[in-house]
A and B are shown apart, each in its own frame.
Chain A
Amino acid sequence: MNTIVLIEIGKILIPIIQIFGIYVIFFGHLSPGGGFAGGTIIGTSLILYRIIFGNKKAAKKLGFKRLMRLTCGSLIFYGVLKGYSFITGGAHIHAPQISLGSPGSILSGGYILPLNIAVGIVVAITIYFLFCLFYEGEI
């Protein structure tokens, strides 16, 4: 779909959607939202990018290998971080934990923020993959 209107509007819209998605992820522990909701929003922006600019250009920026590495990296990060928390809690080890911060600021809530970011990345990429698989049958 190579219409100039679509491309120009996409150029404006996609960054705005992404910023909103990032906002939802980063304020997940303070307000409604979180990793899953924000991840879906970012995922829709990736889908829009693919619809507007076509799969060749999308494959350059959103290559399968790169996205796969990102997803697996986030999942491993999630597993290691949460596993650390679980084991130190379960074994009653007084190991350093992420500080809770002052309530209301972005850097608060201990593990929630980093875990939300990891979830957001995974969900965004999964939504994009799902769309590609149903739309074109390949990523």
Chain B
Amino acid sequence: MDVAKNFPLVIILILFIGAFIMPLLKNKIYNKAFSLMTIGISSVLSLITLVYVNRYGTFLYRVGHWDSPWGIELSIGILEAIMSLLLTSVAFVISWYSVYTIEKEIKDNKVCFYYTLINILVGALLGIVYTNDLFNAFVFIEVSAIAACGIIVVKDKKENIKATLKYLILSSVGSGLVLMGIAFIYSITGNLNMTFINKELSQTFMAYENSILISLGLFTIGLGIKSAMYPLHVWLPDAHSNAPSTSSAMLSALVLKAYVIFYIKILYRMFGEEIISQFPILLFMVLILGSLGMIMGSILAILQKDIKRVIAYSSVAQMGYIFFGIGLGNTIGLVSTFFHILNHAIIKSALFLTVGSMIEKTGQKKLFALKGIGKEMPITLGLFTVSALSMVGIPILPGFISKFNFAIGSIKGGKSIFVVVILISSLLNALYYFPIVINGYFGEENLEGKVFKSKEKTIKELMPILVLIIAALILGASSNKIIEMISNGVEVF
């Protein structure tokens, strides 16, 4: 069974090499099939890796012929395996949906480049998740930033170019800060491998307190920009609302998450709990910014008039939850952060895809124009409703479980006051999701002149969203097992 140790590297290779086979294929249909095939194979391999890791424990894999302080190393534990399964399978479902709709949003000659970019993006994100080497992670961060910009600008409209430039500039600032943080750490420890850095730092950190604090700050802000921590989220609404809906789903569900994983790795694998506890201000700041994001993201979402911007701002709020969990600084906080990452990736991609199909069929983006949509597209709005309920946190759905765990975490961490923040944020969530649903299904004047099921998509095209919703339900129903698995993973992280 040792063959399974090669799978993470094989996945990255398949995705990257597959990306460059695509421009050589003549037909769009081959492109789509090939992209689906490569991402599908990688999700199967991720599943096998997860099973392997679950049985035999974490393993390190050296890349190339040199051992770890010199060569690059991948480190695959349960959390990495879960994340890679999540990334590849959600990317697979989103690409499956895009097969039916992508020509309606982007030009025909760009289709092959779109799938090339998707493959590169997923590969780079997996690289960030797997790697145990700081500089390797930085390279993958840059690759993913460029690929992410690519899938926004591929629509080739004026506002897309503007949003992409904004994203490109801010995300370059972010990666610049990360690089500076790496430079600080490298000059202190002389290593780029996270395990070795941890060894060096645990002996000498007292001598370099300021440098360590500065580099911690640089990593926090740099990765905060990339994963839309609250006051640094300014690029997100433009980028996510202007991109093609499959790209928005990909960006919101996957791209933001990989950087969070990298951040957690930096905090707990590289610096270690001992050093982090020396600087309580850092986690407290993350906690405060997370709570601010939870509330302000929701308030800003209420003020929006464009349905895609509502969901984009909702992403800011949900990233707030994720940073909130990191900021709690205890095991339960981290576990619920991971669970929320799973939950948000699945639910948010379902939301973006349903909204994308509403916009595609009606041609309207504004909230007031989408009133009465429930009569024209009842199944689509039904799927939207289930996802919205999960976002708000109705029991059985995964959103409830992650919020419940966040609450438990904040009580156990002695920060019970923050339970109020979670409650307020949930109520605010309800305030912007429910009007869309209620105005969609009910109201005499809303439903006037609408024909039942007149704009509904075929069941074949709705299947991907249905799969996502079913996955969310399974995630909610079997949350005990999954949380147990994640806590096993967090212990050996």
Contact = CB atoms under 8 A, between A and B. Distances in A.
B24 A89 contact: no
Contact of A75 (B10, B13, B20, B61): B20
Given A86-B64, A90-B61, A72 B20 contact: yes
Contacts of A86: 9, 13, 63-64
Given A72-B21, A72-B24, A76-B20, A89 B9 contact: no
Contacts of B20: 71-72, 75-76, 79
A101 interface: no
Interface of B: 2-3, 5-6, 9-10, 13, 16-17, 20-21, 23-24, 61-66
Given A90-B9, A91-B6, A85 B17 contact: no
23 contacts: A68-B24, A72-B21, A72-B23, A76-B17, A76-B20, A76-B21, A79-B13, A79-B16, A79-B17, A79-B20, A80-B17, A83-B9, A85-B65, A86-B9, A86-B13, A86-B64, A87-B9, A87-B13, A89-B62, A89-B64, A90-B9, A90-B63, A91-B2
B149 to A, nearest CB: 15
Contact of B64 (A68, A75, A80, A90): A90
Interface string A70-112: 0111011001100101110111000000000000000000000
A80 B16 CA distance: 10
Contacts of A87: 6, 9-10, 13
B275 to A, nearest CB: 30
Nearest to A83: B13
B123 to A, nearest CB: 10
Interface of A: 68-69, 71-73, 75-76, 79-80, 83, 85-87, 89-91
A79 B120 CA distance: 13
A132 to B, nearest CB: 16
A55 to B, nearest CB: 19
A79 B3 CA distance: 20
A118 to B, nearest CB: 11
B137 to A, nearest CB: 17
A72 B31 CA distance: 14
B41 to A, nearest CB: 15
Most B CB within 10 A of own CB, among A80, A85, A87, A90: A90
A89 to B, nearest CB: 4
Contacts of A75: 17, 20
A90 B13 contact: no
A73 B20 CA distance: 8
A75 B16 CA distance: 9
Contacts of A80: 17
A83 B64 contact: no
B438 to A, nearest CB: 48
Nearest to B25: A72
Nearest to A72: B20
Nearest to A79: B17
Given A76-B21, A85-B64, 7 more contacts: A79-B16, A79-B20, A85-B65, A87-B10, A89-B62, A90-B61, A91-B6
Contacts of A89: 62-66
A69 B21 CA distance: 9
B62 A90 contact: yes
A91 B16 contact: no
B311 to A, nearest CB: 33
Contacts of A72: 20-21, 23-24
Contacts of A85: 64-65
Contacts of B24: 68-69, 72-73
Most A CB within 10 A of own CB, among B9, B13, B16, B20: B20
Contacts of B62: 89-90
Contacts of A90: 5-6, 9, 61-64
Nearest to A84: B13
A71 B23 CA distance: 10
Given A80-B17, A87-B10, A68 B63 contact: no
Contacts of B3: 91
A136 B16 CA distance: 30
Contacts of B63: 86, 89-90
Given A89-B64, A91-B5, A91-B6, A83 B17 contact: yes
Nearest to A88: B65
Nearest to A89: B65
Closest 3 CB pairs of A and B: A89-B65, A79-B17, A75-B20
Contacts of A83: 9, 13, 17
A10 B382 CA distance: 67
Contacts of B21: 72, 76
Contacts of A91: 2-3, 5-6
A29 to B, nearest CB: 16
B94 to A, nearest CB: 24
A69 B25 CA distance: 10
B8 to A, nearest CB: 10
A89 B5 CA distance: 12
Contacts of B61: 90
Contacts of B23: 68, 72
A79 B13 CA distance: 7
Nearest to B71: A89
A76 B13 CA distance: 10
Nearest to A69: B24
A83 B61 CA distance: 14
B77 to A, nearest CB: 17
Nearest to A85: B64
A73 B21 CA distance: 8
A86 B130 CA distance: 15
A14 to B, nearest CB: 27
Nearest to B73: A90
B1 to A, nearest CB: 13
